């Protein structure tokens, strides 16, 4: 044990012994300039654990304010495993389609923690393109994606919600809507909402291959006179 903890223990014991000897907690606290709440905490700790209870414990670190939420981590891992995106491309994608701002270094550390530092051997290396080609015609390409949210209800209990987001490549106009369930029915409702809200005709809807974007959704989009294409995994 270093000298500082030993001195700290001695001081605390002196304060406790002084109060016992003179029969006054108030005088002891005034003499040693110690708050009464601190004195009682020391006394209880000493009674339960002896000198070990007087050793100053390191405070438990709270979550870092910049720590990524579980939902963002889940999306990072999804983009890495399914599309084989690198840290910079994941950072760009999160900001562009989910309005989540983070750094490529944070993404990289997340990949390392989850054992995804390297891509599979059968995935070829390629240049990283973080600036996507922006279509000049509004409505030509609409990207639709889903973000998982963890919120609290009126009772303070955690609940899962699903944010559907659509963004136009040309104008970057976006629409979003939150649902309580993650289904094709809600995906269809959302695309109808997008058609109503966007001020131009939609040509192509781009999605991943999530279960919410399967046959029912696909043919609903086609029936509306639009194309539905899946983003190809890398």
pLDDT at position 59 is 54
The reply to whether 97 and 137 lie within a common domain is no
The reply to whether 234 and 145 lie within a common domain is yes
The reply to whether 125 and 141 lie within a common domain is no
Which residue, of 132, 155, 190, is where some domain finishes?
132
Most confident by average pLDDT, 20-24, 96-100, 209-213: 209-213
Mean pLDDT score, 122-126: 55
Q: Is the pLDDT of residue 115 over 90?
A: no
Domain count, the chain: 3
Q: Is the pLDDT of residue 107 over 70?
A: yes
The reply to whether 30 and 117 lie within a common domain is no
pLDDT at position 176 is 94
Which residue, of 75, 99, 132, is where some domain finishes?
132
Which residue, of 132, 160, 192, is where some domain finishes?
132
Three-state secondary structure along the chain?
A: CCHHHHHHHHHHHHHHHHHHHHCCHHHHHHHHCCCHHHHHHHHHHHHHHHHHHHCCCCCCCCCCCCCCCHHHHHHHHHHHHHHCCCHHHHHHHHHHHHCCCCCHHHHHHHHHHCCCCCCCCCCCCCCCCCCCCCCCCCCCEEEEEEEEEEEECCCCCEEEEEEEEEEECCCCCEEEEEECCCCHHHHHHHHHHHHHHCCCCCCEEEECCCHHHCHHHHHHHHHCCCEEEECCCC
Q: Is the pLDDT of residue 46 over 80?
A: yes
pLDDT at position 135 is 54
- Residue 130 vs residue 81, higher pLDDT: 81
Mean pLDDT score, 138-151: 91
The reply to whether 205 and 147 lie within a common domain is yes
pLDDT at position 198 is 92
Mean pLDDT score, 169-192: 93
The reply to whether 234 and 202 lie within a common domain is yes
The reply to whether 48 and 78 lie within a common domain is no
pTM above threshold 0.85: no
What rounded mean pLDDT belongs to the chain? 82
pLDDT at position 134 is 45
The reply to whether 234 and 139 lie within a common domain is yes
pLDDT at position 133 is 44
The whole domain housing 230 covers 133-234
pLDDT at position 203 is 92
CATH number of the domain bearing residue 224: 3.30.420.10
The reply to whether 49 and 65 lie within a common domain is no
Mean pLDDT score, 23-51: 84
The reply to whether 116 and 160 lie within a common domain is no
Q: Is the pLDDT of residue 129 over 50?
A: no
Mean pLDDT score, 66-82: 84
The reply to whether 128 and 139 lie within a common domain is no
pLDDT at position 30 is 81
pLDDT at position 79 is 83
């Amino acid at each position: 044990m270093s000298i500082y903890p030993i001195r700290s223990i001695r001081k605390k014991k002196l304060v406790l012994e002084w109060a016992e000897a003179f029969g006054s907690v108030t005088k002891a606290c005034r003499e040693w300039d110690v708050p009464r709440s601190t004195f009682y905490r020391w006394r209880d700790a000493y009674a339960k654990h002896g000198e070990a209870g007087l050793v100053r414990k390191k405070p438990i670190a709270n979550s870092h304010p910049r720590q990524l939420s579980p939902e963002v981590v889940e999306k990072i891992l999804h983009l890495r495993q399914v599309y084989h995106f690198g840290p910079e491309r994941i950072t760009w994608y999160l900001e562009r389609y989910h309005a989540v701002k983070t750094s490529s270094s944070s993404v990289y550390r997340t990949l390392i923690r989850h054992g995804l530092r390297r891509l599979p051997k059968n995935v070829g290396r390629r240049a990283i393109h973080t600036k996507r080609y922006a279509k000049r015609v509004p409505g030509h390409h609409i990207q639709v994606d889903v973000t998982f949210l963890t919120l609290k209800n009126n009772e303070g209990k955690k609940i899962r919600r699903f944010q559907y987001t659509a963004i136009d490549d040309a104008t970057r106009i976006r629409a979003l809507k939150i649902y309580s369930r993650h289904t094709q029915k809600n995906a269809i409702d959302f695309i109808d909402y997008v058609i109503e809200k966007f001020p131009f005709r939609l040509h192509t809807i781009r999605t991943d291959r999530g279960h919410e974007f399967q046959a029912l959704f696909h043919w609903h989009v086609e029936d509306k006179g639009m194309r539905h294409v899946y983003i190809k995994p890398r």
